[in-house]
Amino acid sequence: MPSNLDSNIATADALTLLLHNQHALGAAIEEITHWISGDGADIAADNAVAALGALDANAKAITDAIMRLRLC
């Protein structure tokens, strides 16, 4: 049976990959937002900015969880 430390490492590794995905999605949404803003679609751009805020908040929570797991 794997130890608690091994489980924590595997979980932290998986969360790290999810965090990388968060950053990639954020970058993609940001690029789309810039493109949409140039065409005058302010409402869609505002919604994309709100989505970026959610990604940022979730990335912070994921980062905190990773740090707690790695310190165990």
Q: Which domain holds residue 35?
A: 4-71
pTM of the model: 0.63
- Structure token digits, residue 10: 């595997």
Structural domain total, the chain? 1
> What is the structure's pLDDT at 47?
80
pLDDT of residue 40: 65
Q: Is residue 1 pLDDT above 60, yes or no?
A: no
Which residue has tokens 């595997």? 10
* Predicted pLDDT of residue 2: 59
Q: Dump pLDDT digits (tens) for 21-51.
A: 889 888 888 888 888 777 667 777 788 788 8
* Coil, helix or strand at residue 3: coil
Q: How far apart are CA 1 and CA 22, in angstroms?
A: 32
In whole angstroms, what is the distance from residue 22 CA to residue 62 CA? 10
